[in-house]
Structure 1
Amino acid sequence: MLNTIINNTEIRMKKCVDVFENHMKKVHTGRASSHLLDSIQIEYYGSLTPLYQLANVVVEDSCTLAITVFDPNLVPIIGKAIMKSALGLNPVCTGIVIRVPLPSLTEERRRNLIKFVRTEAEQSRISIRNIRRNANEKIKMLLKEKNIDINEDRHFQNKIQTLTDTWIKNLDNSLAKKEADLIKV
């Protein structure tokens, strides 16, 4: 029972860090990344479909993405979807290829992105702490029901705290990498 709690806690904490890292892939750092457009959804035959299922997105050079659309009828629709997105990009449609030039980042924009990244990291830390709290509550419940003794309670709460410290450190490392990418010119 206690090992199950520990394993589930670790899995959930890892997912928090993974979600943070996936969000950070979408933050524009001045270099082109095909993951930048992962959040764009296109209406295709009545359902919303991710862009990467309808087109091939590649990095053409350090500041340009090239999107090769599988269905030529979708080129204007995809172009409009990219323009309407919150990414602030202006695609150029040429035949079945859409080129998306990425604007260079200003110093003010970099500072705003760093604030955003730090806010996202803090939200992930809060999630990890909530997972720790839930696991500790489950262990306390077992102690209250006399399924474990006080020594086991302390031992497993220490294990959960160690897991929490480890995953917050991993999160902080990811944050530091992203901040370094944003600071680079």
Structure 2
Amino acid sequence: MEELELYLEDARDSMTKALNHVGHELTKIRAGKANPTMLDGLLVSYYGAMTPLQQVASVTTPDARTLFVKPWEKGMIPEIEKAIINGNLGLNPQNDGQQVIINIPMLTEERRKQLVKQVGQECEHGKVSIRNIRKDTNEQLKKIKGVSEDDVKNAEEKVQKMTDDYITKIDSLMKKKEGEIMTV
């Protein structure tokens, strides 16, 4: 029985990580407002090494439509601009010699639909991860020796309920993000 609980706890931890990952990925999808997390995951060439943007500059939002990227070293401005352009974020960086300025354009209806589609894809990846965790956990449960079939069935039912709960949480994240994107 203790071994069953360990597998269930592992499954819960893995599903929580998958849910958190989806939530983090969704913060990168812009909903029309400037947000420093929009630039998460951008890598800048820093003396030949690809380095996360947050390690070479600070990112601030003076207002809802603007991002300021202030590098620790002024010589990094062209590299930061290049990283933003190559990041396919649909953003146009400019600089004033001190920092990179990014004006966040209003989202067009077409761009909103693309973003909603992207949100759907991210959420689907999360659901697939959760279903894979369910499958792996159920396979491990069946391999446990010295446990009755009823106990294994009960554990599998708990895993299924957990799976349903986490998929529901991902669906609610998706609805919330779609709402943010479609709000003009």
Q: TM-score, normalised by structure 2?
A: 0.95
The one-letter code sitting in structure 1 at the alignment partner of 2:164 is D
Deviation at 1:98, TM superposition (A): 1.1
- Percentage identity across paired residues of the two chains: 34
The ranges of structure 1 where at least 4 consecutive aligned residues each deviate by more than 4 angstroms after the TM superposition are: none
Match of 1:84 in 2: 86
Note if 1:26 corresponds to 2:28: yes
Q: State the Cα RMSD in Å.
A: 1.1
Residue number in structure 2 paired with 1:46: 48
Q: Are residue 151 (structure 1) and residue 150 (structure 2) matched?
A: yes
1:1-185 mapped onto 2 (5 Å cutoff): 1-142=3-144, 145=145, 147-185=146-184
Q: Which segments of 5 or more consecutive residues in structure 1 lack a partner in the other structure?
A: none
Q: Distance in 2 between matches of 1:157 and 1:84?
A: 46
Q: What is the CA-CA distance between 1:141 and the residue it aligns to? A: 1.6
SS across alignment from 1:100: strand
Equivalent-residue separation in structure 2 for 1:14 and 1:139 (angstroms): 20
State the distance in 1 between where 2:44 and 2:122 align: 26
User: For 2:89, what is the secondary structure of its paired residue?
Assistant: coil
Alpha-carbon deviation of 1:170?
1.2
What 5-or-longer segments of structure 2 have no aligned partner? none
Amino acid at match of 1:139: L
1:46 Cα offset (Å): 2.7
3-state DSSP of counterpart to 2:174? helix
Q: Distance in 2 between matches of 1:97 and 1:41?
A: 17
SS of 1:130 mapped into structure 2: helix
Q: Which SS does the other structure have where 1:32 is aligned? A: coil
Q: Distance in 1 between matches of 2:51 and 2:10?
A: 32
Letter paired with 1:93 = N
Corresponding residue pairs, total:
182
- Aligned-pair distance for 1:158? 1.3
Secondary structure (helix, strand or coil) at the match of 2:29 reads coil
